[in-house]
Amino acid sequence: MAERAALEELVKLQGERVRGLKQQKASAELIEEEVAKLLKLKAQLGPDESKQKFVLKTPKGTRDYSPRQMAVREKVFDVIIRCFKRHGAEVIDTPVFELKETLMGKYGEDSKLIYDLKDQGGELLSLRYDLTVPFARYLAMNKLTNIKRYHIAKVYRRDNPAMTRGRYREFYQCDFDIAGNFDPMIPDAECLKIMCEILSSLQIGDFLVKVNDRRILDGMFAICGVSDSKFRTICSSVDKLDKVSWEEVKNEMVGEKGLAPEVADRIGDYVQQHGGVSLVEQLLQDPKLSQNKQALEGLGDLKLLFEYLTLFGIDDKISFDLSLARGLDYYTGVIYEAVLLQTPAQAGEEPLGVGSVAAGGRYDGLVGMFDPKGRKVPCVGLSIGVERIFSIVEQRLEALEEKVRTTETQVLVASAQKKLLEERLKLVSELWDAGIKAELLYKKNPKLLNQLQYCEEAGIPLVAIIGEQELKDGVIKLRSVTSREEVDVRREDLVEEIKRRTGQPLCIC
Amino acid sequence: MAERAALEELVKLQGERVRGLKQQKASAELIEEEVAKLLKLKAQLGPDESKQKFVLKTPKGTRDYSPRQMAVREKVFDVIIRCFKRHGAEVIDTPVFELKETLMGKYGEDSKLIYDLKDQGGELLSLRYDLTVPFARYLAMNKLTNIKRYHIAKVYRRDNPAMTRGRYREFYQCDFDIAGNFDPMIPDAECLKIMCEILSSLQIGDFLVKVNDRRILDGMFAICGVSDSKFRTICSSVDKLDKVSWEEVKNEMAVLLQTPAQAGEEPLGVGSVAAGGRYDGLVGMFDPKGRKVPCVGLSIGVERIFSIVEQRLEALEEKVRTTETQVLVASAQKKLLEERLKLVSELWDAGIKAELLYKKNPKLLNQLQYCEEAGIPLVAIIGEQELKDGVIKLRSVTSREEVREVAEDLKSGQNRDFNFYYGTTPFSYKAQEA
C-alpha cells in the first residue's frame, strides 16, 4: 500500500513536470521524453479499480449542454439551417473519427492537437479535427465533381487551455461548401451572401466581413521582398493587425522573425489599407503590384466579386482588408472573415472587431490530395463559429432577463380533487393522440396548487382542470396560467379549443 | 527498404493472427499477448509518411450519411422528437468521450468493446458506449432529483463484425428517460405510450411490445430451482433477442411483426426496434453518498428504422428530395447573369428557397434539367423581351405549363404561390394584389 502511495506520488510529480514543460514551451523531444517516463510510471501503477466511482466531471475542455443551453443551441441552429436550405444545400454526415492516415499531413503545426484513439489491435484512428478534410475525403471517395452541402457537427482539438482561455476541446462547427468547376466568383459571392444572411438573422449586432485573397498576399509579399520560406510566418504576424498595433507587428517581424526593416515598411504601406471596390481599383493601378501576375489575378477576381456582392445587396457589409492573412494553409484564393462590431464609445471612433464569428475561403487543392489521380475539385466555403454565437445569445437573453423555455408543453392536465388519476390519464392520452403537447404530474393525488406552480415554473400556458362536479356536467375547466382566467369547455370541444388558443392547425400535421 | 517491407509483412501476419484468435474466441490473456507483439512490431515500423495519401475509406464499422440517407434520417428524427416534445421532455447533450473511470465497471463483459483514447499525457478518456451512463453521471454531477429528458446522439462499440453482420461500431441512440421519485407505474406507462406513439407514427408496420419484470424472472427461476450464480447465464439463454444490462428491473422490448402467411398463425417478430425498462440503482453508483434516483426509460433502435424506411421508399419508388428549393432562377438568353443575381437575391431576402446555376450563360435546357433532377417545382425565367415588358415567366417544371407572368415586384406574389406549391394543398392560382 505504501509502495502504491509512493508510486502515485511519483506519477503526480511527473505529471506536473510534463505540464510545466508544456507551458514553458520546451522542446518537443524533451516533452516527449518526459511523457514517456510518465506513461511508464502509470503502467507500473496498473489499473485502479477502487478509485472509479465518484468521478463527477466531464473531460477537460468539454461540457454538457443543459436543457437551457440546448434551447439556445436549437434556436441558433434553426436560423443557420434555414439559411443553408434557402440556398439549396444538401446535408451530409461523417463519422466522428477517421483513419489516422486520412488526417495526417493536412494540418501542419496543428497536427499535434489531434486526438488519437488507442491502438487496440485494429485500424489507427483519430478524432476529426475539422469538417473540411472529411469533406474532401467524402468527395474523392464518392468521385463527386460537384456538390453544395452543409455539415454541422462537433470537432476535436487538444488545445492547451492555459494558452487560450475558454477554448473548448470539443466544439461545434457549421460548414457550408460549394464544390465544383463553375464560372468565377459566383459561388464565392453566394458564400458571402449566406454569411451576411445568417449574421443578420441571428441579431447579435452589427458585423463586418473582411475579404482578401491569398494570391494578393503572395504577390504583395513577393514585391516587398519577403522570401518564400518566410511567407507563412510573416502571414501570421500580419494577421495580428486586427488585435495589435502596426508597431508591435513590425517589431515581431523584424525582431523575432528576422525580416529586414525596409521590407517590413513596404509591407506596412499595403497591409494597413482597407476599403471597398475603390481600393481594388487603386491597387490594380499600383505600379509595383500590377507587375505581379498572382496579385493581378487576385485583384481581378475581387473586382468581379464586388460586382456580384453589389447585386446581392451586401457590398456595404464587405471590406477589402489587406491585413487579413488568416488560418489554415489550404486556402488558394479569396479568404474572408466576419467580425462583430462594438458600438464606439465616442462618435468618430472606428468600431473595433471583437473577434471572428465566421470565416472561409476558396481552397482548390485539397480534394486533389485525396484523389489517386490527383484530380482537382475546386471548393469554396464558410464556417460559422457557433460556440461564440451561443455565448453571445445566452448573454443577450440574460441581459434582457428573458426566460427561456426548455419544453414546448402547451397544457397541463390537472385534477382539483383526489381520486381523479384515471380521468387525468384518459384525458392526457386523448390530447397526445390529437397531437397536443401535454403533461401531467406523476402523482395519484396532487394538490392543485402544486400543479399550477409546476406550470408557472415550466412556462406552460394552459391548464386543463378535471373536477368532480365538472365531470358530472361533462366539462373541463380550461385556465390560462398567466391571466388566471378560466372557462368551462365541453369535453368534446376541448381539443379544438386548445388548438385554437395555441395557434395550431386543426389537422394533425 | 527491403527491411521495411519485411517488417510490414510481419505486421500484416501478426495482425491476421490477432484477428484469427479473436474470431476463435481464444483466451483474453493470449489475445492480449499477441496484441502486444503486434504493437511492438508496429512501433518498430515507425510513422509512415509516404503511405498516407490515398486512403479513401471510413473506419471499419462506420459510414458517411449521403444527402439521401440524411433526408431519411431527418424524417425519422422529426417523428421521434415531435413525440418526445409532445410529452414535455427537455433535451440535453454530453461530450462524445467520458473519463475512462466514469465508464469503467459499468458494462460487465461488454467493457472490452469500449473505444479508448490514446494516453497523450492527459486524462484517460473513452468514447461513450451508451447514453445511460452519461445520463446518470449528469444527474449526479448536477445533483438533480428529477428530470424528463431525451438525448439523441451517436455511441461507440468495438463490435466484432464477423459475429454480428451489419452491426455498426458508430451508431445513433435515441433515449428518453424519466428520473425521479414518483407514484408507481405512471412514468413507466408513459414510456410505453411514447414507444407506441413513435412506432405508429413511423408507419413501418404492425408491432408488439413485450413486457416482463426482473422480479418476476427472479422469482420464477428461484421457484424452478435455478441457483443465484446461474441466474445471468440462464437469463441470456432465455432472452435471445436482447442483452440485459445492469439492474434492469423490468424489460420491455418492441418487436416488429411480419404478417403471418396463414390465418391463425402467430405473427413472427423480425427484430427489436426499441427497448427499455426501469433501473433504480445506476445513479447511486455515481453519487458519493449513494443517493438513489429511480429512473425509467426507453431507447429507440433508429439504425434499424433507417434501413426499414429506406427500403420502404425504394419499394414505393418514391423519389426522396435532398433539398427544399422551391424555385430556380433561370435565364432564356445570354448576358442575363446580373438580372439572375438580382432576382435570386430578392427571393432569398423574402425567405424563398431559391437557386441559380453558377454559369454566366447557361442553356435553358440545362437549367430545366437541373430542376427535374433535383425535384425543384418552379422555374422563374428571365428573358430579354420580358425584361422590357417588366415581367418574369413563372413555369411549373413538371407540367411545363406557364404558371403566370408576374410583374417585376415579385416578392409578395411569388411568396404566396410558392407556399401553395410547397405545402400539401393542391396548387391553385391566386390573383395578385395591387
> Which pairing describes strands A147-156 and A462-466: parallel, antiparallel, or unpaired?
unpaired
Q: B187 and B298: one domain?
A: yes
Q: Do B54 and A372 touch (CB under 8 A)?
A: yes
Q: pLDDT-derived band of residue A161, with 50, 70 and 90 as boundaries?
A: low
Q: Which H/E stretch holds residue A352?
A: none
Q: Which of B265, B291, B315 is the last residue of a domain?
A: B315
Q: B362 and B334: one domain?
A: yes
Question: For residue B41, what are the contacts with CB-CB under 8 A and spacing of at least 6?
Answer: B7, B10, B11, B14
Q: B165 and B132: one domain?
A: yes
Return the C-alpha torsion angle B321, A378, A388, A238, nearest 10: -170
Q: B125 and B73: one domain?
A: yes
Distances B85 to A427, B67, B411 between C-alpha atoms, Å: 18, 26, 35
Count the Cβ atoms, other than its own, within 10 Å of residue A54: 14
The binding site of A for L-histidine comprises 130-132, 157, 173, 177, 326, 330-331
Number of domains in chain B: 3
Q: Single out the residue of A63, A152, A132 nearest to residue B97, CA to CA.
A: A63
Tabulate helix, strand, coil % of chain A (nearest 5). 45, 20, 35
Q: Do B88 and A120 touch (CB under 8 A)?
A: no
Say which CATH number the domain at B22 has. 1.10.287.10
The binding site of B for L-histidine comprises 130-132, 157, 173, 177
Q: What is the DSSP letter of A345?
A: S
Say which CATH number the domain at A163 has. 3.30.930.10
Say which CATH number the domain at B418 has. 3.40.50.800
**Residue whose cell numbers read 482537382:** A376
Using CB atoms, pick whichever of A59, A138, A458 lies closest to residue B99: A59
Q: What's residue B416's pLDDT?
A: 46
C-alpha A198/C-alpha A150 separation (Å) is: 14
**A500 or A41: which carries more pLDDT confidence?**
A500
- The chain A residue lying nearest B376, using CA atoms, is A88
Residues of A in contact with B53 (CB under 8 A): 369-370
B74 to chain A, closest Cα gap in Å: 10
Q: Do B121 and A372 touch (CB under 8 A)?
A: no
C-alpha B122/C-alpha A35 separation (Å) is: 10
β-partners of residue A383 are A175, A359
- Whether A109 is in a domain gets the answer yes
Residues of B in contact with A429 (CB under 8 A): 193
Q: What's residue A49's pLDDT?
A: 47
SS (H, E, C) A214-272: HHHHHHHHHHHCCCHHHHHHHHHHHHHHHCCCHHHHHHHHHHHCCCCHHHHHHHHHHHC
What pLDDT digit, counting tens, does each position of A34-82 carry?
A: 888 888 888 777 655 444 456 699 999 999 999 999 999 999 999 999 9
Q: What's residue B403's pLDDT?
A: 73
- Whether A53 is in a domain gets the answer no
Ordered DSSP codes for B373-430 = HHT--EEEEE-HHHHHHTEEEEEETTT--EEEEEES--HHHHHHHHHHHHSSSPP---
pLDDT tens, N- to C-terminus, chain B (434 residues) = 667 778 888 888 888 888 888 878 788 788 888 888 888 887 777 655 444 456 699 999 999 999 999 999 999 999 999 999 999 999 999 999 999 999 998 888 889 999 999 999 999 999 999 999 999 999 999 999 999 999 999 999 998 755 455 578 999 999 999 999 999 999 999 999 999 999 999 998 899 999 999 889 889 988 988 887 777 777 766 764 344 444 455 566 666 665 444 444 444 455 788 989 998 888 888 888 888 899 999 999 899 899 889 888 888 877 889 999 999 999 999 999 999 999 999 999 999 999 999 999 999 999 999 999 999 999 999 999 988 888 899 999 999 888 766 655 554 445 444 444 433 323 222 222 22
Average pLDDT, chain A: 90
Q: B188 and B285: one domain?
A: yes
Residues of B in contact with A435 (CB under 8 A): 86
B267 to chain A, closest Cα gap in Å: 26
The letter for the amino acid at A268 is: G
Residue B101 in contact with residue B286, Cβ under 8 Å?
no
Give the side-chain half-sphere CA count within 13 A for A410. Answer: 19
Using CB atoms, pick whichever of A67, A141, A440 lies closest to residue B56: A141
- Whether A76 is in a domain gets the answer yes
**A143 or B318: which carries more pLDDT confidence?**
A143
- Whether B263 is in a domain gets the answer no
Q: What's residue B32's pLDDT?
A: 82
- Whether A59 is in a domain gets the answer no
Q: What is the DSSP letter of B110?
A: G
- In a mutational test of the B interface, the residue from A53, A387, A445 whose CB has the highest number of chain B CBs within 10 Å is A53
Is residue A305 classed as helix, strand or coil in its secondary structure?
helix
- Whether B93 is in a domain gets the answer yes
Q: A395 and A423: one domain?
A: no
C-alpha cell at B65: 450519411
Q: A191 and A162: one domain?
A: yes
C-alpha A110/C-alpha A145 separation (Å) is: 29
Q: A395 and A422: one domain?
A: no
Task: Check pLDDT > 60 for residue A164.
Answer: no
- The chain A residue lying nearest B342, using CA atoms, is A311
The binding site of A comprises 130-132, 157, 173, 177, 326, 330-331
Question: For residue B267, what are the contacts with CB-CB under 8 A and spacing of at least 6?
Answer: B206, B208, B257, B258, B259, B260
Can you give the pTM of this predicted structure? Answer: 0.83
C-alpha B397/C-alpha B327 separation (Å) is: 9
Q: Which H/E stretch holds residue A402?
A: none
C-alpha A100/C-alpha A126 separation (Å) is: 5
Provide mean pLDDT across the span A85-102: 97
Q: B302 and B408: one domain?
A: no
- The chain A residue lying nearest B122, using CA atoms, is A15
What's the ipTM? 0.84
Q: B162 and B294: one domain?
A: yes
Count the Cβ atoms, other than its own, within 10 Å of residue B316: 8
Q: What's residue A53's pLDDT?
A: 52
What pLDDT digit, counting tens, does each position of A351-383 carry?
A: 444 578 999 999 999 888 888 888 899 999 999
What pLDDT digit, counting tens, does each position of A237-270 carry?
A: 888 888 889 999 999 999 998 899 999 999 999 9
Q: B310 and B331: one domain?
A: no
Q: Do B67 and A92 touch (CB under 8 A)?
A: yes
Residues of B in contact with A438 (CB under 8 A): 86-88
- Whether A125 is in a domain gets the answer yes
C-alpha B130/C-alpha B248 separation (Å) is: 15
- Whether B385 is in a domain gets the answer yes
Using CB atoms, pick whichever of B55, B74, B358 lies closest to residue A99: B55
Q: What's residue B17's pLDDT?
A: 87
**Residue whose cell numbers read 473540411:** A132
Q: Do A54 and B88 touch (CB under 8 A)?
A: no
Q: What's residue B201's pLDDT?
A: 95
Residues of B in contact with A141 (CB under 8 A): 56-57, 64
Residue A211 in contact with residue A195, Cβ under 8 Å?
no
Q: A24 and A141: one domain?
A: no
Count the Cβ atoms, other than its own, within 10 Å of residue A233: 16
Q: What's residue B243's pLDDT?
A: 42
What percent of chain A shows pLDDT beyond 90?
Answer: 69
**Which residue range is the domain that position A23 belongs to?**
1-45
Q: Which of A366, A399, A432 is the last residue of a domain?
A: A399
Our measurement of the distance from residue B219's CA atom to the centroid of its chain's CA atoms, rounded to an integer in Å, reads 38
